[in-house]
Structure 1
Amino acid sequence: NCTEASQFIFEGFSASWELQIFLFLLLLASYVITLVGNLGLIFLIWVDPQLHTPMYFFLSNLSLVDFCYSSVVTPQMLAHFFAQQKAISLPQCATQMWFFSLFVATECYLLAAMAYDRYVAIAQPLLYATSMSPKSCAWLVVGPYAAGTVNAVTHTSLAFQLRFCEPSVVNHFFCDIPAVISCSSSNTGTNALVLFSLSFVLGTLSVCIILVSYAYILAAILRICSARGRRKAFSTCISHLTAVTLLFGTLFFTYVRPSSRFSADADKVAAVLYTMAIPMLNPLIYSLRNQQVKAAL
């Protein structure tokens, strides 16, 4: 006795009307800063010839991905603050899940590519021009998008093979994978296993590349004789390490844990961080500590 669902209803944020208005204004301001910061950084890198280097090529792609995955979620979430029924059709939900999965996985691998770029620049400076040629840089960006596409296709196709009965209420503010599959009337064991496995492999592979790169970077920095040289070399990595810590910390909390420990409220808080706070902070993190970006401004 199941009527197939044609739409999902989001629970969104459970709060008083006054708090809802405050959250709306706060998140709207966050999204505006995200748009201005990321699109502004892309434009700055595009128009300034001094920033036409591999590091800024990766940074412009990171800003593009931040802009995209925040835009996949935030406008609809803001519109739902004042909607009587926070509804989304199944095709719209599948589209949102697909693009969000694509861009989040792409960002993880882009951060790994950026760590490799810093490794070559600091530990192998004489080989930098050869190792980070335009063709190599292109492949280091195409690879993350390809991996992100595989991630998106896998999760979205598995999620929407499940059966959803009316009324399908999603205890979240967007079509996040754990939240959607948790309201299915089908057996979700396979989905939970694939979600955990793919997220674990994605996270572990990216983190391993980053850790190995920074192990070589640290060894190279320790070989630099002058304290000033060591500080300068390490300062180029601080922004990247900050971005890595913020993103992977929240993603591991959300996706790499047993389904028995699923907490909708905790996931909403984590989701606000990686869908709104991190895309807003990344341009600030990279530009405020970067003398070349400051000079270009």
Structure 2
Amino acid sequence: MVAQRGRRNGAKRTRSEAAPDADNAPTAEMPAVTENGTDPEIRARSIPEAAVARLAVYLRVLSAMADQGATTVSSEELSTAAGVNSAKLRKDLSYLGSYGTRGVGYDVAVLVGHIERTLGLTRQHRVAVVGIGNLGHALANYGGFPGRGFPVEALFDIDPDLIGVPVGGLPVSHIDDIPVVCAERGISIGVIATPPPAAQSVCDRLVAGGVQCILNFAPVVLQVPEHVEVRKVDLAVELQILSFHVARRADGEANGRVIDEGSVAGNGVVVP
């Protein structure tokens, strides 16, 4: 996904760089916690955004382990399940003040609690979905959001045939009502699933309603104030990235076959 930030003093800017994947990339301010879940100083510690993304993956894996009855997990087991190397995992968890116990590993329940506090999941974040097309319907009806602390509390569209119609148990409101409804219901996260031309207008309404975080599925770069965080999900871009990897592997396999046949190496050099 693409991360996008705003600009200070109410001005707006756009940013379209891909989300950082290096540990020295821009950071998010997160509270540190100690192994027993308390820290008398509770100071903010800078965690790289790439590490924040991995913490969410660790939480998903750990929650599944807990559901299966696991009480402890080694760094090797957790890193394998999460698809990262164990050294990177240990570094990520060290940001939480969690270092595990030699020969035992990490307490699953304690680690889940640490990550949930760091990711701000100890309270619910009310969500509004704007654009009740196929994607919006799917998001509104998805039952996994409330259980993870993200109840969908408001739906919006511009189609008069949809206004007032319940979707996922919630009536659809008109997009003109976004500022008032979002303020009344304490919406903190807005999901934009509209056609591209409507996305910026919807974004402005969400910001006017006090929404501080936006998940944008529209293939446009939004202009937002500094205090608003935007995550962009462009499925076409993701598919293009996958296409690159498929093509690269296909090229590698083709070159490998040529080498095996004893004619030409992958760099075009003739093999004796």
Larger radius of gyration: 2
Bigger fraction of residues in strand: 2
Bigger fraction of residues in helix: 1
Relative contact order, higher structure (CA 8 A, sep 6+): 1
